[in-house]
């Protein structure tokens, strides 16, 4: 049988033990928080990579990405070729007062122009200021961390695998060509 009041004593022990332990309070303004990798702070734009495909703006559930662009015609390099057109970005803005940080724009971007940055201290006193224009979005790029390393047992990244495959193929072809050249003619039975 349990002693009467043993539960009460256990409760007292819990609080006393907690008092001797280190507190978990984060003293944020003095001490910066220890953020997890892949923290979703703000979205950065690498505008050099942007082709104005508009996928991000169309997929955005909040419609908070504004893109303006115009087409430019490039003169043909070859007199026989036709002139090429290309999209030029005029405006790229994200309204962070609407953004819900779902990250879909970053997922859908086919050319790796959008990135998560862990910076989160961009509060404003005026809501209009929360619409970050392209230069500000470009500035956030400097805060984007290097991608975290893959897990030890992870599959090789696709681009590396493809490059390796191509290199192996070229290597094998070169080797067989060399072997063919080294062998005297007529021995190919």
Partner 1 sequence: MTFLDMLLRCVAVLAVFLVLPLVIGQTEHKVMAHMQGRLGPMYAGGFHGWAQLVADGVKFVQKEDVVPADADRRVFQLAPAVALLPYLVVLLAIPVGPGGFVGQAVDAGIFFVLAVMGIGVLGSLMAGWASANKFSLLGGLRTAAQLMAYELPMLLAAASVAMAAGTLSLPGMLEQFEWWWVPWQIVGAFVFFVSGLAELQRPPFDMPIADSEIIFGAYTEYTGIRFAFFLLSEYAGILVICALTTVLFLGGWHGPLPDQLGWLWTVLKTFALALVVIWLRVTYPRLREDQLMKFAWTTLIPLALAQLALTGIVKVAIS
The greatest distance separating any two alpha carbons of the chain, rounded to the nearest whole angstrom, comes to: 103
Task: Establish if 181 lies at the interface with partner 1 (CB under 8 A).
Answer: no
Q: Which of 1, 3, 16, 160 binds partner 1 (CB under 8 A)?
A: 16
Task: Establish if 185 lies at the interface with partner 1 (CB under 8 A).
Answer: no
In this structure, what is the dihedral angle of CA atoms 43, 46, 51, 55, given to the nearest 10 degrees? Answer: -10
Q: How far is the CB of 117 from partner 1 (least distance, A)?
A: 30
Let me know: does 56 contact 114? Beta carbons within 8 Å: yes
Task: Establish if 6 lies at the interface with partner 1 (CB under 8 A).
Answer: no
The torsion region of residue 186 among left (phi > 0), alpha (psi -120 to 50) and beta comes to: left
Q: Which of 19, 77, 123, 181 binds partner 1 (CB under 8 A)?
A: 19
Q: Which stretch binds partner 1 (CB under 8 A): 13-21, 81-89, 132-140, 155-163?
A: 13-21
In this structure, what is the dihedral angle of CA atoms 98, 102, 105, 107, given to the nearest 10 degrees? Answer: 170
Closer to partner 1 at the Cβ: 13 or 173?
13
Task: Establish if 179 lies at the interface with partner 1 (CB under 8 A).
Answer: no
Cα separation, 86 vs 145, whole angstroms = 30
Task: Establish if 128 lies at the interface with partner 1 (CB under 8 A).
Answer: no
Cα separation, 154 vs 171, whole angstroms = 26
Q: Which stretch binds partner 1 (CB under 8 A): 23-31, 78-86, 128-136, 170-178?
A: 23-31
DSSP β-bridge partners for residue 68: 91
Task: Establish if 21 lies at the interface with partner 1 (CB under 8 A).
Answer: yes
DSSP state for residue 93 in the 8-state scheme: E
Q: How far is the CB of 35 from partner 1 (least distance, A)?
A: 21
User: How buried is residue 15: exposed, middle or buried, by Cβ count under 10 Å (0-12/13-18/19+)?
Assistant: exposed
Count interface residues toward partner 1 (CB under 8 A): 13
Judged by the rule CB under 8 A, the positions of this chain that interact with partner 1 are 8, 11-12, 14-16, 18-19, 21, 23-25, 27
């Amino acid at each position: 049988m349990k002693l009467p009041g043993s539960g009460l004593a256990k409760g007292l022990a819990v609080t006393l033990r907690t008092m001797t332990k280190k507190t978990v309070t984060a003293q944020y303004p003095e001490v910066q928080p220890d953020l997890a990798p892949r923290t979703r702070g703000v979205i950065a734009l690498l505008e050099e990579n942007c082709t104005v495909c508009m996928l991000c703006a169309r997929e955005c559930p909040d419609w908070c990405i504004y893109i303006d662009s115009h087409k430019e015609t490039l003169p043909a390099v070859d007199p026989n070729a036709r002139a090429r057109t290309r999209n030029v970005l005029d405006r790229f803005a994200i309204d962070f007062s609407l953004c819900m940080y779902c990250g879909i724009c970053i997922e859908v971007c086919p050319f790796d122009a959008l990135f998560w940055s862990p910076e989160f201290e961009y509060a404003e006193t005026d809501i209009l200021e929360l619409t970050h224009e392209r230069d500000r979005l470009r500035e956030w790029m400097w805060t984007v961390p290097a991608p975290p390393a893959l897990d030890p047992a992870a599959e090789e990244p696709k681009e590396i695998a493809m490059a390796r495959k191509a290199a192996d193929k070229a290597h094998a072809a070169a080797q067989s060509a060399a072997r063919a050249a080294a062998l005297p003619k007529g021995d190919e039975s």
